[in-house]
Structure 1
């Protein structure tokens, strides 16, 4: 069960990144190009937020069955000094919660704006910050701090 959810979480990350990048492309193109906020832009906003929330649910489920998180919680005083354990027990989950909160704020604020330019600008700014937070906390295979495979097999 743990291996399956871990692989699923790893896979969904790519959907989160793709939907975020596409939403950012649409947001910046609309904002800087003075375009009309279309039904496609509305769908892109909703899909980016939905995919992020699906990843959140899978990630929280993974956190509660993870042996790493379990060790971190059970042995906090020692674990907080171990880089990899601390990353998955505290840093990754905290930063991802912040990132998904920023995506949610972007979606909610953009939805309430009255002009198309304000909608695009709001999405562009908030989603850019969210993407930076998320990118900084993914355990990339090339990271010198925490390294995990880019793709996991089911």
Structure 2
């Protein structure tokens, strides 16, 4: 089960990134061009939040069944000094929680704005910060610190 959830989590990250990038494209282009906020823009916002929340739920599930996280929690004093164990036991989950929170804040704040331009501006700023936080905490295959494959097989 662990291997399946890990592969699923790895796959859904691409949907999170794609939806974030598309939402950012819509937000920036429509903000700068002073376009009106449409139902499609609202759907994009909602889908982006939902995909991120699904990914976070799967990530939490993975965290609770992960041997790495289990080792980190049970051997905290030693594990906190091991880069890869600390990354998955503490850093990754913390930064992703912050990223998901920023996406949720972007959604909630933009819904409360009255002008279309303010909605797009709010989404653009908050989602950009969320994307940067998330990108910094993905264990990319090219990272010299923590390296994992870009795609995992089921």
User: Counterparts of 2:68 and 2:113 in 1: how far apart (Å)?
Assistant: 42
User: Counterparts of 1:74 and 1:46 in 2: how far apart (Å)?
Assistant: 38
User: Counterparts of 1:112 and 1:54 in 2: how far apart (Å)?
Assistant: 24
Shift >3 Å, 4+ stretches = none
Shift of residue 55, structure 1, vs aligned partner: 0.3
Q: For structure 1, which runs of at least 5 residues remain unmatched after alignment?
A: none
Shift of residue 66, structure 1, vs aligned partner: 0.1
Q: Give the aligned partner of residue 86 of structure 1.
A: 86
SS class of match (2:99): helix
Shift of residue 46, structure 1, vs aligned partner: 0.2
Are 2:15 and 1:11 aligned?
no
Compute the TM-score of the two structures, normalised by the length of structure 2.
Answer: 1.00
Compute the TM-score of the two structures, normalised by the length of structure 1.
Answer: 1.00
Q: Give the aligned partner of residue 102 of structure 2.
A: 102
SS class of match (1:127): helix
**Superposed counterparts of 1:9-48, under 5 Å:** 9-48=9-48
Shift of residue 137, structure 1, vs aligned partner: 0.1
Q: Give the aligned partner of residue 113 of structure 2.
A: 113
User: Counterparts of 1:22 and 1:40 in 2: how far apart (Å)?
Assistant: 12
Deviation digits for residues 7-43 of structure 1 (CA, Å, limit 9, x no counterpart): 0000000000000000000000111010000111000
Q: For structure 2, which runs of at least 5 residues remain unmatched after alignment?
A: none
Deviation digits for residues 52-90 of structure 1 (CA, Å, limit 9, x no counterpart): 000010000000000000000000000000000000000
Shift of residue 51, structure 1, vs aligned partner: 0.2
User: Counterparts of 2:136 and 2:123 in 1: how far apart (Å)?
Assistant: 20
| Number of equivalent positions | 154
Shift of residue 146, structure 1, vs aligned partner: 0.1
Shift of residue 95, structure 1, vs aligned partner: 0.1
Q: Give the aligned partner of residue 2 of structure 1.
A: 2
Cα RMSD of the aligned pairs, angstroms, is 0.3
